[in-house]
Structure 1
Amino acid sequence: MGHAADRRARQGLWLGVAGVLMFALTLPLTRLAGGTVEAPQLPPAWVALARAAVAGLLSLGYLVAVRAPWPQRRQWPLLAIGGAGVVFGFPVCLGWAVREVEAVHAAVITGLLPLSTAVVGALWLRQRPSAGFWACAGLGCALVLGFAALQGGGRLSAGDGWLLLAVLSASTGYVAGARLAAQGMPPEQVICWMLLLCLPINLPAALAGLHIHADQLAQARPAAWAAFAYLALVSMWLGFFAWYRGLAWGGALRVSQVQLIQPFVSMLAAVPLLGETLEPVTLAFVAAVIATVLLGRRMAVGVPQR
């Protein structure tokens, strides 16, 4: 029994690694799909809506195939909040952000995501984090804002604002999803129900966009369409299957630590995919952010307040 549990835990860890690697490509491929302000490709808002529409149709097929039961009434608000965060908020904000800033820049800002998720979870669950936890949260915010200001010549850019909104959206969506999983909803079905709930909005909007942006879509490079296919199939759908199942099998505390490598993988992928360059100051800031996240995770978080 012990050997079987250990084997399952190892499988969970590797599934978590697979999920992180799949998610890490989201940043550079979102920039590849949408292009830049100077050389636009696919419209960022359309990419966000259309990729969720594709993943929503796949989710519908999956939920029918596994004969998933309908969510309970008390779970629908959590699904709506989670969908607003990970289906709408994060993809849309990220799409606009990486038109303004490079993917390696975005990797530093989004490196704060694990700590941001912990903060949102603590506030949502009315927990009592230690002073050290809040100090790490403040230091992490100061680091990313300082980096953004340094890169922007002393001020934050519009892209930085979009990135901060993307981090907040994803954090809220992750916490909502975690609460649904804690209530007994199978991990893979969490993202599928979120996508299906949003499908009545995403699908008509995506189809309308085919006509509204017909000329721009026709002129987009094949690489942009390949990036879109990855975002729809992997970033928006299969990546969550691997990630949530990895957390369930390997333990959330252990498996979630591998998320710390995600910013570095995003940066490394941006070099060959986008021709971006890695500067020592960028690596130094992302290392500092990850160290702050790791330290923050070790700080005590009290029980929920009554």
Structure 2
Amino acid sequence: MQIGPHILKNNLIVAPMAGVTDRPFRQLCKSMGAGMAVSEMVSSNSLLWGSEKTRRRANHEGEVDPISVQIAGADPAMMAEAARYNVAQGAQIIDINMGCPAKKICNVMAGSALLQDQPLVGKILDAVVGAVNVPVTLKIRTGWDTQHRNALAVANIAQSAGVQALAIHGRTRACAYAGHAEYDTIAEVKAAVKIPVIANGDITTPEQARQVLDYTRADAIMIGRAAQGRPWIFREISHYLATGEHLQLPEVSEIHRVLIQHLHELYDFYGEYSGVRIARKHISWYTKGLVGSAVFRHAMNQLQTTEQQLLAVNEFFSELAGRGRRLTYVEPEELVA
């Protein structure tokens, strides 16, 4: 998989997720086998660039190449300026968000709301591609709603503008995350354009990854929610695609080690107050479905310090280790809920 001058080590990409794909999470997924990870979206509003949140999202210190930063907005000039700003901060790829279904994004005509206005899509893409000397990629949905699936038209606009890769989530904006992703539209787009196409949506197992790649003929797959608390999914998929065989579930000791390392990275990145609160959701994802995790998660959310969190996590995994070397899930399907 190649995007501009960047040759990825494989075709597995971490989807941009607001509040999730911060630098610690991106680094972890890359170390676990992802070929690329896209950042949380950065607003194109220059008034926000001095905010602590934006400065943190533009922090790529020590991050493994390539560094892909997603920007969001609806004004071509502002989007171009945001692209230049982020390249100056170290971005090696600029990704444009036209896929987010969140109301607060769509209400300002950004994200997937842009799919309703194809001329504006073209203006934004032209402006951003012309503003920077790094590859520009685009993430979209299949359309605004099931009666208006226009991913193919948008893909052609993107290709003409010089966009160098296109990620498509197999749902419309109206679908949000309900129902099941459909891959027919992705396959149609892939057959019609020459730029790399990345399939996204409901890819939660190695088998599904193989099936989606085979069905759509996409160049890569993008994984979002299934990697929450399960960053090793990338090495599992990579191994399965290469060999047709499954890796064993991680041992309790490894998951314990990965989670503790992740927590320390979060504390260092956000500081104690915010780090503890942001860590809660990650701890919940890592432990969801494990024996005794419901009571543990409830207690965890009451803890206020890093020391208390680390002690509780260590105690929980020590109890798990006493049950066996490998994890046992009470309800495996919860892993991808």
The structure whose Rg is larger is 2
TM over 0.5: no
TM-score bracket for the superposition, by shorter chain length: under 0.3
TM-score by length of 2: 0.24
Question: Which protein, 1 or 2, shows the higher relative CO under an 8 Å CA cutoff with sep ≥ 6?
Answer: 1
* Structure with the higher helix share, 1 or 2: 1
TM-score by length of 1: 0.25
